[in-house]
C-alpha cells in the first residue's frame, strides 16, 4: 500500500511516498523498518506506543491502535504534529 | 577524560616528564569546541594558538542535541545524542569529525514492560561518557527518564547496563517526569576511574550519586555530607540533586561537585562530601550547574555561579556573569570576569555547558542559553566571545585533535 511520509522521516526514505505492506499497522511499521532501518523507533517507542507528536491516518481517519487492520488498497499517512517554537 | 595517572603524589614526576617532552617537538593539537544546542550542533575549529575560530555547522539543524562527545581513545569518533520534537531519541556517530554521520542501529531503550504493566520509554539520551582507555569502543549513556546504558561497539548498539533500570529501589530514587528537572530527571556525570574500568560513578538529578567498584554488579550511595532543600530528609537519595560531578584526572581520588545545594569536594576513601561553596562570596552564593576541574592540578576547579535566591532565577547573580576559581581545593575562590559583560547580562549556563581543554595554560569554554560561546586562553583571567546567535546551548565539550 501507499504510505505518505512526513518531512522529519525523509532522511530515512528519501521519498515522500513509499510502498510497504502489512495486515496491521504493526506489520506495516515492521516492513517500513526493514526497508528503512531505524525509522520505526523514531515513531514508536519501546513500549509500542506512538510517540507524542506522530500520528497515523488510514484513508483519512486517525488511528490510534497499532493492531488496526489494513487492506492492500488502504492509504496510510504518517503526520508530524509538533507545536511550539 | 581517560587519562591514566596515579594519585597527586605523582605530580612532581609528571612535571618532570612533561619538561623532557618539551624539548622534543610534538605536533600542535587543535581545539574543536563541540556545541550541542536545542536546534543542532556547531563545531568551532581553532588554530593551534586558539585565537581564530572557524564555524562548521549547523549539523542536524532543528534537532535537539543534548551532548556531543569525542572519543579520546581514537581522537576522531564523535557521538551525538539526538532527537527532534517529533521523533524518538537516537545516537549518531561520526568517524570523520562530523563530515558524515551514521545512526545507531539500536539506540538506548528500556525493556518492554510485561503485559499489564506500564513501561518506560527513553525521551532523550542526556549524557555520553567514553568508558576506560582499556575498553576501546565502549561507551556509557545516561538518559531521561533516568537509565544507564552501555555500548561495546562504538555506539552502534546499546543495552541496559547493570540492574538499576528495573530495580524497585532505583526506580523510586529515579523519580518520574513530574520530579525535578523541567524536561525530566537526568542521569549524568557518568565517570570512569582512569585506574580501574570496574570503578565508576554516576549521578542522578534527582537521585544522588552512586558508585560501583565491581563493574556495575553492585552500587553504593554516596550522598553523605550533601545538603538538601529545607524540609526534606537527607537520608532519602531521591531528594538529592547533584548538578555536575567531576573527577580530577591528576588525582582520581578527588571529586568536585556542583549541587542544587552548593559546591562540594570529596577525597576518597572518605565518603563524606565537604561543602567548599560556603567559602564563596555571600552575595554570589554557591548555586550553579557546571563544575570544571583542572586536568593536571587537583587543587584547581572552576564554577559559574547562578542566582539561587527567592524564586531561583538561575541567571548570573546581579546580571554580571563571572566564573570563580579555587586554587586550593575550595578554601578560597577568586572571581574571573575580565572581558565578560559588566551589567545586564542574565546568562544561564547549563551543567554540560562549561568545560576545559588540556593545553598549558588551560583554555576554558562556556556556552549560554542565549547562544553565545565564550572562551579564555589563560584559565579564566580574560574572556572573549567566540560565537554568538546560536540556539540555546545545552552542552559544550572540547575535542583536541592532531
Please state the length of chain A. Answer: 85
Overall average pLDDT of the B33-57 stretch: 97
For residue range B245-288, what is the model confidence (pLDDT) as tens digits?
999 999 999 999 999 999 999 999 999 999 999 999 999 999 99
Peptide bond into B361 cis (omega under 30): yes
Peptide bond into B41 cis (omega under 30): no
Q: Cell match 577568586: residue?
A: B334
Indicate yes or no: CB of B88 within 8 angstroms of CB of A82.
no
**Chain A residue closest to B111 (CA)?**
A46
Beta strands, E only, B71-199: 78-83, 90-94, 102-103, 124-130, 139-144, 147-151, 159-160, 186-192
**Cα dihedral sign, B9-B15-B16-B17:** positive
Cα–Cα distance measured from residue B305 to residue B286, given in angstroms and rounded to the nearest whole number: 6
* Chain centroid to CA B359: 19
- Distance between terminal CA atoms of chain A? 34
Q: Is the pLDDT of residue B18 over 70?
A: no
Q: What is the mean pLDDT of residues A45-55?
A: 95
**What residue has cell string 524536561?**
B183
pLDDT by residue (tens digit) across B196-213?
999 999 999 999 999 999
Residue B364 to residues B4, B33, B380: CA-CA distances in angstroms? 22, 10, 7
pLDDT tops 50 at residue B8: no
Contacts of A37 in chain B (CB under 8 A): 105
The DSSP line for B1-14 is: -------GGGHHHH
Residue identified by cell 563530515 is B99
ipTM metric: 0.94
- The A residues from 44 to 83 touching B (CB cutoff 8 Å) are 44-49, 51, 53-54, 80-82
Nearest Cα of chain B lies from the Cα of A2 at a distance, in angstroms, of 21
pLDDT-above-90 percentage for chain B: 89
pLDDT-based confidence at residue B369 (cuts at 50, 70, 90): very high
Query: In this structure, what C-alpha cell is assigned to residue B358?
Result: 588540556
Residue B180 confidence (pLDDT): 66
Question: Which of B104, B107, B112 is facing A47, going by the closest CB pair?
Answer: B112
How confident is the model over B333-355, as pLDDT tens digits?
999 999 999 999 999 999 999 99
- Split at pLDDT 50, 70, 90, the class of B20 is very low
For residue B15, name the pLDDT band (cuts at 50, 70, 90). very low
The whole model's pTM is what? 0.93
- Top residue of A26, A46, A67 to mutate, by most chain B CBs within 10 Å, is A46
- Catalogue the long-range contacts made by A49-55 (C-beta closer than 8 Å, 24 or more residues apart): A49/B121, A51/B86, A51/B87, A51/B88, A53/A80, A53/A81, A53/A82, A53/B85, A53/B86, A54/A78, A54/A79, A54/A80, A54/A81, A54/B86, A54/B87, A55/A79, A55/A81
Question: What pairing do the DSSP bridges indicate for beta strands B262-267 and B393-401?
Answer: unpaired
pLDDT-derived band at B24 (thresholds 50, 70, 90) equals: low
Q: What is the pLDDT of residues B115-166, one digit of tens each?
A: 999 999 999 999 999 999 999 999 999 999 999 999 999 999 999 999 999 9
Contact B177, B184 (CB under 8 A): yes
For the sheet with B40-46, list strands across it: B53-59, B40-46, B30-37, B393-401
Residue B198: CB partners within 8 Å, gap ≥ 6?
Answer: B212, B213, B214, B215, B216
Q: Which residues of A touch B109 (CB under 8 A)?
A: 41, 45-46
Cis peptide before B89 (omega within 30 of 0): no
pLDDT at B402: 81
SS (H, E, C) A50-75: ECCCEEEEECCEEECCCCCECCCCCE
Average pLDDT, chain A: 96
Q: Given pLDDT bands bounded at 50, 70 and 90, which one contains residue B186?
A: very high
Measured between beta carbons, the chain A residues lying within 8 angstroms of B64 are none
pLDDT score of A54:
94
Query: What is the 8-class DSSP label of residue B107?
Result: -
- Whole-number pLDDT of residue B26: 60
DSSP at B362: P
Q: A47–B121: do the CB atoms touch at under 8 Å?
A: yes
Average pLDDT of chain B?
92
Amino acid at each position: 500500500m501507499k504510505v505518505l511520509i512526513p518531512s522529519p522521516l525523509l532522511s530515512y526514505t528519501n521519498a515522500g511516498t513509499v510502498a510497504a505492506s502489512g495486515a496491521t499497522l504493526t506489520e506495516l511499521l515492521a516492513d517500513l523498518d526493514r526497508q528503512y532501518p531505524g525509522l520505526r523507533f523514531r515513531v514508536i517507542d519501546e513500549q509500542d506506543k506512538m510517540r507524542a507528536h506522530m500520528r497515523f491516518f488510514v484513508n483519512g481517519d486517525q488511528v490510534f491502535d497499532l493492531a488496526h487492520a489494513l487492506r492492500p488498497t488502504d492509504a496510510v499517512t504518517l503526520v508530524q504534529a509538533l507545536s511550539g517554537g | 577524560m581517560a587519562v591514566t595517572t596515579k594519585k597527586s603524589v605523582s605530580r612532581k614526576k609528571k612535571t618532570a616528564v612533561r619538561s623532557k617532552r618539551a624539548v622534543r617537538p610534538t605536533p600542535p593539537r587543535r581545539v574543536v569546541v563541540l556545541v550541542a544546542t536545542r536546534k543542532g550542533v556547531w563545531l568551532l575549529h581553532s588554530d593551534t594558538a586558539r585565537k581564530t575560530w572557524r564555524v562548521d555547522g549547523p549539523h542536524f539543524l532543528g534537532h535537539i542535541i543534548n551532548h556531543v562527545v569525542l572519543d579520546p581513545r581514537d581522537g576522531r569518533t564523535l557521538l551525538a545524542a539526538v532527537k527532534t520534537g517529533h521523533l524518538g531519541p537516537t545516537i549518531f556517530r561520526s568517524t570523520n569529525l562530523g563530515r558524515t554521520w551514521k545512526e545507531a542501529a539500536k539506540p538506548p531503550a528500556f525493556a518492554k514492560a510485561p503485559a499489564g504493566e506500564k513501561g518506560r520509554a527513553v525521551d532523550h539520551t542526556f549524557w555520553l561518557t567514553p568508558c576506560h582507555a582499556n575498553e576501546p569502543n565502549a561507551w556509557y549513556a545516561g538518559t531521561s527518564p533516568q537509565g544507564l546504558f552501555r555500548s561495546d561497539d562504538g555506539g552502534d548498539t546499546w543495552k541496559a547496563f547493570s540492574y538499576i533500570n528495573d530495580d524497585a529501589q532505583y526506580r523510586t530514587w529515579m523519580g518520574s517526569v513530574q520530579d525535578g528537572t523541567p524536561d525530566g530527571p537526568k542521569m549524568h556525570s557518568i565517570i570512569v576511574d582512569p585506574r580501574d574500568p570496574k570503578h565508576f560513578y554516576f549521578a542522578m538529578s534527582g537521585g544522588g550519586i552512586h558508585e560501583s567498584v565491581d563493574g556495575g554488579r553492585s552500587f553504593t550511595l554516596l550522598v553523605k555530607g550533601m545538603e538538601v532543600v529545607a524540609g526534606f530528609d537527607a537520608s532519602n537519595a531521591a531528594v538529592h540533586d547533584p548538578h555536575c560531578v567531576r573527577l580530577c584526572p591528576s588525582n582520581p581520588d578527588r571529586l568536585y561537585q556542583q549541587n542544587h545545594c552548593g559546591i562540594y569536594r570529596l577525597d576518597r576513601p572518605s565518603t563524606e562530601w565537604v561543602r567548599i561553596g560556603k567559602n564563596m562570596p555571600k552575595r554570589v552564593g554557591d548555586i550553579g550547574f557546571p563544575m570544571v576541574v583542572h586536568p593536571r592540578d587537583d587543587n584547581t576547579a572552576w564554577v559559574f555561579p547562578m542566582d539561587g535566591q527567592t524564586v531561583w532565577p538561575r541567571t548570573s547573580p546581579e546580571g554580571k556573569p563571572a566564573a570563580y576559581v579555587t586554587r586550593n581545593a575550595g578554601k578560597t575562590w577568586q572571581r574571573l570576569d575580565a572581558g565578560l559583560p559588566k551589567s545586564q547580562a542574565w546568562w544561564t549556563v547549563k551543567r554540560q555547558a562549561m568545560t576545559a581543554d588540556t593545553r598549558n595554560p588551560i583554555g576554558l569554554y562556556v556556552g549560554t542559553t542565549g547562544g553565545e560561546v565564550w572562551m579564555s586562553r589563560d584559565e579564566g583571567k580574560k574572556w572573549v566571545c567566540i560565537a554568538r546567535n546560536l540556539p540555546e546551548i545545552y552542552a559544550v565539550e572540547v575535542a583536541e585533535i592532531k
